[in-house]
Amino acid sequence: MVGTPVGARCPNCAGVKRFRMLLKPRELARAIAYGVAVGALGTIIYGLIGRSIPFLGPLIAFMIVGFGVGQAVSVGANRKRARELAPIAVACLLIGYEIGLVGLIAMGGGPVGLNVLLAPILALRQDFQLLVGLLVGALLAWMSVR
């Protein structure tokens, strides 16, 4: 049996071109760029306005960001459904979180050094809600690409 977009079929009847399902390097690079950009932008927006909105906690914020990253990766890959895209979406969310938080610290006038690069990881150790928000966001990023 061969998996096709409409279900399982025998190899003779399937007639699916395997190359149509594969990602091109340009689509892969665009998917990664879109995902990291949306992850960083979402983290920056949450950092700037998230504290002033009482119901927008880290859990809800990173659920939204995770879904957005998954959709951005999907759009970057031209809406193809390759199994490589799900871990890429999760990695884009985590890298975007790192870049966004470092960007927030740098925009605040703090010195950029090794301590700034380790700040997002230390923030996860201190804030359990943020860790759960990132994990749920990663799950949503994974599911929205598959």
Q: Each residue of 102-144: pLDDT tens digit?
A: 888 888 887 777 888 888 888 888 888 888 989 999 999 999 9
Q: Is residue 12 part of a domain?
A: no
Please report which residue ranges of 50-127 form alpha helices under DSSP H. 58-76, 85-107, 114-126
Q: Is residue 8 part of a domain?
A: no
Query: How many structural domains are present in the chain?
Result: 1
> Which pLDDT score, from 0 to 100, does residue 50 have?
79
Q: Is residue 35 part of a domain?
A: yes
Q: Each residue of 78-99: pLDDT tens digit?
A: 888 888 899 999 999 999 999 9
Query: Which of 81, 88, 109, 100 is closest to 40 using CA atoms?
Result: 100
> Which pLDDT score, from 0 to 100, does residue 21 have?
63
Question: Quick check: 7 pLDDT over 80?
Answer: no
CA distances in angstroms from 18 to 2, 10, 70, 73, 77, listed in the order given: 11, 15, 24, 21, 16
More confident residue, 34 or 58: 34
Residue 16: band (very low, low, confident or very high) from pLDDT cuts 50, 70, 90: low
- pTM tops 0.85: no
Answer for the pair 43, 96: CB distance below 8 angstroms, yes or no: yes
What's the one-letter identity of residue 69? Answer: V
Question: 116 lies in which domain range?
Answer: 25-145
> Which pLDDT score, from 0 to 100, does residue 17 have?
60
Q: Is residue 19 part of a domain?
A: no
83: Cβ contacts below 8 Å, ≥ 6 apart: 146
